[in-house]
Amino acid sequence: MDKIDKIKKHSVLIVDDANANITALTDILKSGYTIYMAKNGQKAVQLAEEFSPDIILLDIVMPEMDGYEIITALKNSEKSKDIPVIFITSLSDSGNEEKGLELGAADYITKPFSPAIVRFRVGNQIRILELIRNNERLSLEDQLTGLPNRRCFDRQIDREWKRALREKTFLSVLLMDIDKFKNYNDTYGHQQGDAAIQSFAKTLDRTLKRPGDFSARWGGEEFIALLANTELKNALDIAEQIRRNTENTEVPCSDGFITKLTVSIGVNTYRPGDNNTIDSLISGADTALYTAKNKGRNMVCSFL
């Protein structure tokens, strides 16, 4: 895929009942943004929920639903509540501006439109949005390995648990611990210990190839994997692949010396229902991991 294909334009939803205003704003923004258009509140909410535009430009004076009613509907929807809304209006009363800001508007653009002002105000909201998204991404990422962190895993398992509950499918968890990691750290130093953790993270990432597989750093030398729509037998097979790939991976030191790792893995599988919980699913995997370590490490054990 070419680099150009990978670049996704930011998108803007223009909501105005006047064709002339939609045309003017589209002409100003079309070179830099994907444009969606709506001429009434119902369509605006529908498009916002369907396409999740980055910014919404919303006229205040509209038939049926006015801009204030529309922004209230947008902010009450889980799918559109976080989309920044810029009001576009000819109203100059500060009371109108105050009301819009109280309802959650991010900014105002007044008519008649100045192309430079429109581009600046939209661009400013995009920059703020990118900062928020980047901070959110960093808050969900383990900085050493680049894998999702525990907070991110908690979000993912909550979503997958609800999906499995609806669809009556199995959900498997693998809890993994790099064997004798403290000894490794004491022998080769903390910098090499970090390299070992990074090496295992890469092994884990390249082993879990299916779209429904999700792995994260659980903490320290522990990692966790969530396997959607996966029964126990398949989960054990995948865990064994991870164990084997880890055992066969060389972890070089800065002086050229080659080290190796092994991993113990606990597996648990549930079909979500009334008698089990996310906590009990993970707790079962932890119990199985404890069994694997007690039996000599470098092995896979299941809870059941």
**Residues labelled as active-site residues:** 221
Q: What is the spatial distance between Cα 225 and Cα 124, in angstroms, rounded to a whole number?
A: 39
Q: What is the spatial distance between Cα 243 and Cα 200, in angstroms, rounded to a whole number?
A: 10
Instruction: Classify residue 218 as left (phi > 0), alpha (psi -120 to 50) or beta.
Output: alpha
Alpha helices in 140-224 (DSSP H): 150-167, 181-188, 190-207
Measured CA to CA in angstroms, residue 226 lies from 114, 150, 221 at distances of 51, 12, 17
Neighbours of 205 (CB within 10 A): 14
Q: How far is CA 81 from the centre of its chain?
A: 17
